A and B are shown apart, each in its own frame.
Chain A
Amino acid sequence: MVATPLLEPGLLRRLEALALQVRRSITGQVAGERRSRRYGRSVEFADFRSYTPGDDFRLIDWNAYARLDRFLLRLFVAEEELPLSVFVDLSGSMDWGTPNKALVARRLAGAVAYVALAALDRVRITVFAQAPTSGGAPYRGRRAAAELFQRLQSFPVGGTTDYARLVWPIGRQRPGMSVLITDGLGQAALDPALAALQRARQEGAVLQLLAPQEIDPDWSGDARLKDAESGEEREFTATPLTRASYLRALEKRSTDIAAAANRRGLRFARLSTGQPLEDMVQRTLRQVGLLR
């Protein structure tokens, strides 16, 4: 049996034209394609400083020496890698809807990660439900994409969402960019995780992924409702009034997450799994300023 590729080759090619958009300079461990607050080797001039012994004499500005009779060293903006952390919610509530939220979350995470990999950025994947699970060593370069995709597809789905337990792995991140993909429907509050992102000097985005059947419930009548995460059951009669009440609660949930994200300097986008992945990436994520 041939496994379905997470992302189609055509899509991957188009993703290479995109780049993560960073609002402030970041510091990486190896040279990348990102401006760093450190001075380094690149073509972008940053400043002069006086030469001190030991400096690379290749950086001495000889024209300045001719005019000023002083050794001045040309400084360039170091172009470093961007540490990108993608947190993917694979709790029980994500294994729901058509198209399946977990599947779309994996593809979306893969797409964002691929954009970073294509720019030689370092990508770390963490999936979480009740507890976070690391996706292994950071990935870098396009060649790592296949492994990253395979890893993304290998994680099981299930369990209860506990955003509080994301605080520890987030705290370990170097300053960089984080993308949190979740449906935001867990009973636990999302705010501790967002606060941790802020503390870890992460910029990035919270992408709330919902199924079309959540955004517009297509069922009514009597049912025994069963929570996909907790397994809790309740007898229920769906009526236009209860539908309206549910939609209000869902809207409030989204609004709360968006407000909390904005408070923490994070972007927010609500996405539907009914939306084509390319549309999500090319349009929505560019609109919120995550990609360019």
Chain B
Amino acid sequence: MSFIAPAAAFLAVTLPAILALYFLRIRRPTRVIPALHLWPDQIRDRQANVPWQRLRPSWLLFLQLLAAAVLVGAAVQPALPVGATLAHHTIVLLDTSAAMQARDVASSRLEQAKKEVGSLVDELGASDRMTIIRVGAVPEIAASAIGDRDLLHRALDATQASNGAGDISSALNLAGGLVRPGEDARALLYSDGILLPIRSSFGEGLPFPLEYHKVGVSGENIAITALNVRTNAQVRAAFLRVQNFGQQSRQVSLEWRADGRLVDARPLTLAAGQAQDLILAVPADATAVSAALDTGDLFKLDDSATAVARAPRIFKVLLVTPGNVFLQQALGLRTDLQVDVVAPTAYKPATGYALTVFDRFAPATLPAGPAMVIDPPSTSAIAGGATLGIGRVRAGDAGDPLLANVDLQDVHVARSQDLRASTFGRVLLSSLQTPLVLVRDEPFRQALFGFDLHESDLPLRVAFPILMQNLSEWMLPPSVPSHSFQPDEPVTIVPDAGTQSLSVVRPDGSTRSLTAGGIATFADTDPVGLYTVVQSAGGKVTRSWFTVNLFAEDISALKPVDRLTLPPVRPAAGLKAPHHGELDLWPWLALIGLGLVLSEWMVFHRGL
């Protein structure tokens, strides 16, 4: 046992003081009574003013001494060592991702974790500090290096599970930034282990030991893992995937609704681990369709899914080319693009096109809007220098999102204009000799290719349609993307021209207003369901929709991870002076003291 405030022991002087008061005699007034023998023989010293007398045994004295002793005991704040090993600075990484909502343990995994962390808070020593980081899609600090237990408990109480994934890498980076060099720190991860893979390298290792505390026991769950709606001239149907992640065969019922109206209901039987694909009819007038499973299982978030059934808005694209089948094919892959092809000689600047692609041609002035210029003539203002012989192609920046999934392994270019001196924009594709493709965001999203596609094997590679897709989506993001997003995933919304007000109505009915001036990013997407984007232009209100669904098999699998692969610990890091947590006894002692004082009052009042 340790004492947090041993100096308070000086209060023990109250004990002899109380005793001394009982040694002193009371100056009692004489009272004549008719029959002394009728009064009981009762004497009790409650105040003293005349020294001295023999000490008489008294319940009051006993209780007062006991109460004083207990209160002195509480004042020195004794603490018992308890199980947890703590550092001076304990960092709690509390997983608040979607899977923590599973109810396979009492209340939920998150509540169980909060309870465990709460116990840890109660065991903090007087000089110990604790940081609580909520590990969600975006980690946040709930409490930063504080020792106040009340604040820590309040931070815990305010912690809610999100519907998103747990980004442990960002959380560890955040925690690393909170630890001062040489600080005695230790991190504890309370999680079911269902987290995003660790992507940061943590090459130097973590500056603190990290301990994983598993929460959760079961992986029994049935989930909707995919819902896609195809709405074109040929097909108008939804493709639904239901999967049983558990170890037991389950029978569930499926309800299929269009705009809230019940369209179909059917029982499903799923063997352990089995996935079942369903094709469901989508009514012609439906805006959104939803599927709901009546599973009664531990995890509700993946028991329903919603999809938009309306066709997306069509963008008009003008391709100015003497003839380029590769470009035509690549642009045609996007179903929401309507491509018009004209020869350079027939080109006239025209409005109404969302994107213009110039192949081996460049107008005097580029249109005020998204544009791609491929191998402009040397007479053009944006053309590069003399042609250079090129070999292999490489990425300007491997992490550029425009090169996502673009494999440049076997891509070569024969010749290209020298763009080294070009001020067009940043380099997207490059070579040893010269940058090959430049892109810019201002004044409009535009791209400049320094080589003729026919002088390269790029159009023959899988990388080409992917690159074109990336570029066209970057330049023409769908006004409102109709596909499903993950919870907490940012959604880019491109308002229609002339939009004066822009707002998003969330599944729970709450409305969020956005700035209508330019491309807006909406990140308040934690609840799953149907989101409605409302645009208002000149009194005309238009609505479009997108959905947020879990659709994450790794989360729906639910089974807690027994062993988590965690980043290594920096060799120097470690518990410098590990100590056990402390359980404060003073509240209990104070309670006993209060009880004793109350008993003393009752004894006094009843005259025992």
Please choose the segment from A113-121, A131-139, A235-243, A283-291 that sits at the chain B interface, where 4 or more of its residues have CB less than 8 A away: A235-243
- In the complex, A49 has a CB within 8 A of chain B: no
Known contacts A222-B26, A245-B40, A240 near B35 by CB under 8 Å: no
CB of B329 within 8 Å of the partner chain: no
User: Chain A residues near B604 (CB, 8 Å)?
Assistant: 239
CB distance from B42 to the nearest CB of A (A): 5
Of B29, B36, B38, B46, which is within 8 A of A237 by CB?
B46
Contact A246/B38 with A222-B26, A224-B29, A225-B31 known, Cβ cut-off 8 Å = yes
Which residue of A has the minimal Cβ distance to B36? A227
Contact A228 B34 (CB under 8 A): yes
| A223: Cβ under 8 A from any B Cβ | yes
Interface string of A85-104 (1 = CB under 8 A from B): 00000001110110001000
Chain B, 555-608, CB within 8 A of any chain A CB? 604-608
Q: Does A280 contact B (CB under 8 A)?
A: no
Those of A55-102 within 8 Å (CB) of chain B: 92-94, 96-97, 101
Residues 210-243 of chain A, each 1 if its beta carbon lies under 8 Å from chain B, else 0 = 0100100001001111111110111111111111
The 8 Å CB contact of B31, one of A214, A226, A239, A242, is A226
Check: A162 CB closer than 8 A to any chain B CB: no
What number of A residues sit within 8 Å (CB to CB) of B?
39
Distance in angstroms from A128 CB to nearest chain B CB is 16
Q: In this assembly, does A200 line the interface, its C-beta being within 8 Å of a C-beta of chain B?
A: no
Chain B contact residues: over half helix, strand or loop, or mixed? Answer: loop
Is B540's beta carbon under 8 Å from chain A?
Answer: no
> Chain A nearest CB: distance from B109 CB in Å?
58
| A residues less than 8 Å from B45 (CB atoms) | 222, 237
Expressed in whole angstroms, the minimum distance between the Cβ of B21 and any Cβ of chain A is 14
B33 lies within 8 A of chain A by Cβ: yes
Q: Are B608 and A225 in contact (CB under 8 A)?
A: no
Q: Which B residues touch A214, using CB under 8 A?
A: 34
Q: Which residues of B contact A224 (CB under 8 A)?
A: 28-31
With A219-B31, A223-B28 known as contacts, the answer to whether A187 contacts B40 (CB < 8 A) is no
Q: Which residue of A lies closest to B26 (CB)?
A: A222
* Interface check A249, CB cutoff 8 A: yes
Give CA–CA (A238, B33) in the complex, Å: 13
Chain B residues near A250: list those with CB within 8 A. Answer: 38
User: Does B43 sit at the interface, judged by CB under 8 A?
Assistant: yes
The answer to whether A253 has its CB under 8 Å from any CB of chain B is: yes
B35, A237: Cβ atoms closer than 8 Å: no
CB distance from B441 to the nearest CB of A (A): 89
Q: Which residues of the partner chain A approach B608 to less than 8 Å between Cβ atoms?
A: 241
CA distance A227 to B31 in the complex (A): 9
* Residues of A close to B606: CB separation below 8 A: 239-241
Q: Is the CB of A222 within 8 A of B46?
A: yes
Which residues of A lie under 8 Å from residue B28 when comparing CB positions? 222-224, 235-236
What sequence of 0s and 1s flags, for each residue 221-239 of chain B, a beta carbon within 8 Å of any chain A beta carbon?
0000000000000000000
Given A241-B606, A241-B607, check contact A233 B38 (CB 8 Å): no
Instruction: Establish whether residues B40 and A246, one from each chain, have CB atoms under 8 Å apart when the complex forms.
Output: yes
Assess whether B32 is interfacial by the CB under 8 Å rule: yes
Measured CB to CB, the nearest residue on chain A to B30 is A224
Roughly how many angstroms separate A233 CA and B39 CA in the complex, as a whole number?
A: 12
| Contact between B42 and A242, CB atoms less than 8 A apart | yes
Chain A: minimal CB distance from B290 (Å): 73
Q: For residues 450 through 490 of chain B, which have their beta carbon under 8 Å from a beta carbon of chain A? A: none
Nearest-Cβ distance from residue A239 to partner chain B, whole angstroms: 2
Contact of B34 among A185, A240, A243 (CB under 8 A): A185
- Interface residue B37 (Cβ < 8 Å from any Cβ of A): yes
- Chain A residue at minimum C-beta to C-beta distance from B41: A234
Residue A203 CB within 8 A of the other chain: no
State whether the Cβ of B334 lies closer than 8 Å to any Cβ in chain A: no
Q: Is B426 an interface residue (CB 8 A)?
A: no
Q: Which residues of B contact A94 (CB under 8 A)?
A: 34
Contact B36 A225 (CB under 8 A): yes
The listed residue with most A CB atoms (<10 A of its CB), out of B29, B35, B606, is: B35
Q: Which residues of A contact B29 (CB under 8 A)?
A: 222-224
Whether the pair A242, B32 counts as a contact (CB closer than 8 A) is: no
Chain B minimum-CB-distance residue to A186: B35
Residue of A nearest to B35 (CB): A185
- Whether the pair B46, A226 counts as a contact (CB closer than 8 A) is no
Select which of B32, B36, B46, B605 is within 8 A of A234 by beta carbon.
Answer: B36
Expressed in whole angstroms, the Cα–Cα distance for A233 and B30 within the complex equals 9
Chain B contacts of A96 at CB under 8 A?
Answer: 32-34
Knowing A219-B31, A223-B29, A225-B31 are in contact, say whether A253-B46 is a contact too (CB < 8 A): no
Complex contacts, B440 vs chain A, CB 8 Å = none
Interface residue B412 (Cβ < 8 Å from any Cβ of A): no
| In the bound complex, CA of A44 to CA of B41 (Å) | 61
Interchain CA distance A253-B29 in the complex, whole Å: 27
Whether the pair B31, A253 counts as a contact (CB closer than 8 A) is no
Closest approach, in angstroms, between the C-beta of A225 and any C-beta of chain B? 5
Taken residue by residue from 540 to 561, chain B's Cβ proximity to chain A (1 for < 8 Å, 0 otherwise) reads as 0000000000000000000000
A61 to B35 alpha-carbon distance, docked (Å): 64
Contact with B along A153-188 (1 / 0, CB 8 A): 000000000000000000000000000000101110
Question: What is the bound-complex CA distance between A187 and B604, given in angstroms?
Answer: 30
Query: Do residues B34 and A236 form an inter-chain contact, with CB atoms below 8 A?
Result: no
Q: Which of A226, A236, A240 has the most CB of B within 10 A?
A: A236
Q: Are A93 and B34 in contact (CB-based, < 8 A)?
A: yes
Cα distance, A145 to B97, chains bound together (Å): 108
In the complex with contacts A239-B606, A240-B606, A226-B30 CB distance below 8 A: yes
Task: Please name all residues of chain A whose beta carbon is closer than 8 Å to the beta carbon of B607 when the two chains form the complex.
Answer: 237-243
Cβ A237 vs Cβ B43 within 8 A: yes
Asked if B415 is at the interface of the complex by the 8 Å CB criterion, the answer is no
B31 partner residues in chain A, CB cutoff 8 A? 219, 223-226
Contact B39 A246 (CB under 8 A): yes
Complex: A188 Cα to B40 Cα, angstroms: 18
CB-CB contacts below 8 Å: B2-41 with A: 26, 28-41
Given A236-B43, A237-B43, A237-B607, are A228 and B30 also a contact pair (CB < 8 Å)?
no
Counting from the closest, the 6 A-B pairs by CB-CB distance are A239-B607, A241-B607, A93-B34, A227-B36, A185-B35, A237-B44
Q: Which residues of A contact B (CB under 8 A)?
A: 92-94, 96-97, 101, 183, 185-187, 211, 214, 219, 222-230, 232-243, 245-246, 249-250, 253
Selected A-B contacts with CB under 8 Å, 29 pairs: A93-B34, A96-B32, A96-B34, A185-B35, A214-B34, A222-B45, A222-B46, A224-B31, A225-B30, A225-B31, A225-B36, A225-B39, A226-B33, A227-B33, A227-B37, A228-B32, A228-B33, A232-B36, A235-B43, A236-B39, A237-B42, A237-B46, A238-B42, A238-B607, A239-B607, A241-B608, A242-B42, A245-B40, A249-B38
Q: A92-B34, A227-B35, A237-B607 are in contact. List 10 more A-B contacts (CB 8 A).
A: A185-B35, A187-B35, A222-B29, A227-B32, A228-B34, A229-B34, A237-B45, A238-B42, A239-B42, A241-B42
